[in-house]
C-alpha cells in the first residue's frame, strides 16, 4: 500500500529550477534513501516533505492525506537535521521531551516516554547531561530519540552522519537501521555517501541536477545502472565506447574486438554505444563457455597490499580491475600482453543523461 506519495514535485528559486518533476511512492515501513552529489536537490525534496519549503508545483500525500501546504507542526513528521539542532540550554531528557511538551502530553506520559527513548538509544545514564557534554555520536542518538518520541508517521533524516568519523558512522548507521526496523517507521534518509545508501536502504533514489536518474533496490542500482551518471556515481566503474555490430544479437565491437552483451543494445550497425563494466566482473585470463575475451596491454600496476590494481588498455579503451595479492604469485609487469574475460551480463549498455 502506498504510504508516502509524491507527484510532479518541483521547486524553483527565480529562474533556477532545483527540483524537476520529482515523483515517488513509498510503502509503509520502507527505508528509502535520496542519494546524490551536493546541489542535486535531495535536501530540498526532504525539506518540502517536512514543510520547511513550499513546492512550486506538485503534491505530497501521507497515508492518503494531502499535506502539501500544511505547516510542519501539522504533518506528523519527525526530522533529524545534519547539525542535530539540539537545544544547548536543555538536558538530554529535556531535549527528548520537547516535542511531547509541545503536544501537551501529560507529565507522567512524558516521563515514561523519555525513559523509553533513552533506553532505546542506550543512553539512560546521560539524561541529565547537556549537549556540549556529549560526543557527536551521542548527540546524534539524542536527536534521533527526540524525532521519534512523538511517534511520527514519517521519519526524515538529513545527512545525520556526515559530521562523524568513519568508524562511528558505520556503527550508527547499523543502529539507525535496527531502530527503524524495530519501530516499523517509514523513513527517508538523505545522503551523498553511496555506501550508506546501499547498505541501509530498501530502495535508493539517485538524483542529479534536480531530477531522478534511477529508483530501485540497492542491488539493481549497483548492478543494473540505467544511465552513465548512476553507473559512475554508485561504485567504481569502467566506461567503454563500442560500436554496434548487430543490435538484435547484442553484439558490439570494442577497439575492433567483438563482445556480446547480456541485454539488447540500441543503434544501427556502426553506431557508437556507451558500455559500463564493473572492475569485479573482470578476471585475467581467457575464458570459454560464452564469456567475452579482450586482449590488451598492461598499462599500470599498483600494489595496494591486499589487492593489486591493474589497468589494461585495448586501444582507445581501457579497464581497471583488482586481483588479490598472493605471495606465491607476483603481479604481472607493465607492458605485458594479457587477455581479460567477463560475462556478457557484466557489460551494461548505458543511456545518455537526460536533458532537463
> Of the candidates 289, 342, 349, which has an alpha carbon nearest to the alpha carbon of residue 319?
342
Per-residue pLDDT tens digits for 120-156:
888 999 999 999 999 888 998 899 999 999 999 999 9
Least confident of 47-51, 111-115, 225-229: 225-229
The CATH fold assigned to 236-349 is: OB fold (Dihydrolipoamide Acetyltransferase, E2P) (2.40.50)
CATH 1.10.3720.10 fits 2-232, yes or no: no
Least confident of 180-189, 309-318, 319-328: 319-328
**What's the rounded Cα separation, in Å, for the pair 332 and 214?**
38
Res 106: pLDDT: 94
Least confident of 60-74, 206-220, 225-239: 225-239
Taking CA atoms, 19 is separated from 47, 66, 68, 87, 242, in Å, by: 12, 19, 15, 31, 33
Res 289: pLDDT: 86
Cell 605485458 belongs to which residue? 336
Q: In the chain, where does the domain assigned CATH 3.40.50.300 lie?
A: 2-232
The answer to whether residues 308 and 338 touch, using CB atoms and an 8 Å cutoff, is: no
Q: In the chain, where does the domain assigned CATH 2.40.50.140 lie?
A: 236-349
**What's the rounded Cα separation, in Å, for the pair 60 and 63?**
10
Res 353: pLDDT: 52
Q: Has residue 52 got a pLDDT over 50?
A: yes
Quickly list H helices, 25-103: 42-50, 92-102
Res 356: pLDDT: 45
Q: Has residue 354 got a pLDDT over 60?
A: no
Q: Is 327 exposed, middle or buried (0-12, 13-18, 19+ CB in 10 A)?
A: exposed
**What's the rounded Cα separation, in Å, for the pair 90 and 329?**
61
Q: Has residue 214 got a pLDDT over 80?
A: yes
Question: Higher pLDDT residue, 298 or 227?
Answer: 298
Per-residue pLDDT tens digits for 161-180:
887 777 788 888 888 898 89
Amino acid at each position: 500500500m502506498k504510504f508516502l506519495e509524491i507527484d510532479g514535485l518541483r521547486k524553483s528559486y527565480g529562474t533556477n529550477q532545483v527540483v524537476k518533476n520529482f515523483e515517488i511512492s513509498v510503502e509503509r515501513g520502507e527505508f528509502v534513501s535520496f542519494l546524490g552529489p551536493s546541489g542535486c536537490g535531495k535536501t530540498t525534496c526532504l525539506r518540502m516533505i517536512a514543510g520547511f519549503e513550499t513546492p512550486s508545483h506538485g503534491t505530497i500525500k501521507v497515508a492518503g492525506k494531502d499535506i502539501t501546504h500544511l505547516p510542519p507542526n501539522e504533518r506528523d513528521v519527525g526530522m533529524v537535521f545534519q547539525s542535530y539542532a539540539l537545544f544547548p540550554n536543555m538536558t538530554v531528557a529535556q531535549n527528548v521531551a520537547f516535542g511531547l511538551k509541545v503536544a501537551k502530553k501529560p507529565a507522567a506520559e512524558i516521563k515514561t516516554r523519555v525513559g523509553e527513548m533513552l533506553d532505546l538509544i542506550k543512553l539512560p545514564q546521560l539524561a541529565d547531561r547537556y549537549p556540549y557534554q556529549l560526543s557527536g555520536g551521542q548527540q546524534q542518538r539524542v536527536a534521533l530519540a527526540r524525532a521519534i518520541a512523538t511517534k511520527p508517521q514519517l521519519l526524515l533524516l538529513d545527512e545525520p552522519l556526515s559530521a562523524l568519523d568513519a568508524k562511528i558512522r558505520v556503527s550508527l548507521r547499523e543502529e539507525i537501521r535496527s531502530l527503524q526496523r524495530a519501530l516499523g517507521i517509514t523513513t527517508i534518509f538523505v545522503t551523498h555517501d553511496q555506501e550508506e545508501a546501499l547498505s541501509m536502504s530498501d530502495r535508493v533514489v539517485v538524483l542529479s541536477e534536480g531530477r531522478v536518474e534511477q529508483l530501485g533496490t540497492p542491488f539493481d542500482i549497483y548492478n543494473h545502472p540505467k544511465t552513465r551518471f548512476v553507473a559512475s556515481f554508485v561504485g567504481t566503474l569502467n566506461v567503454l565506447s563500442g560500436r554496434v555490430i548487430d543490435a538484435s544479437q547484442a553484439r558490439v565491437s570494442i577497439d575492433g574486438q567483438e563482445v556480446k552483451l547480456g541485454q539488447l543494445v540500441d543503434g544501427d550497425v556502426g553506431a557508437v554505444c556507451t558500455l559500463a563494466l564493473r572492475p569485479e566482473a573482470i578476471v585475467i585470463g581467457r575464458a570459454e563457455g560464452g564469456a567475452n575475451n579482450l586482449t590488451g596491454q598492461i598499462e599500470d600496476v599498483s600494489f595496494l597490499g591486499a589487492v593489486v590494481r591493474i589497468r589494461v588498455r585495448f586501444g582507445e579503451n581501457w579497464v581497471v580491475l583488482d586481483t588479490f595479492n598472493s605471495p606465491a604469485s607476483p603481479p604481472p609487469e607493465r607492458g605485458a600482453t594479457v587477455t581479460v574475460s567477463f560475462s556478457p551480463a557484466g557489460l551494461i549498455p548505458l543511456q545518455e543523461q537526460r536533458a532537463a
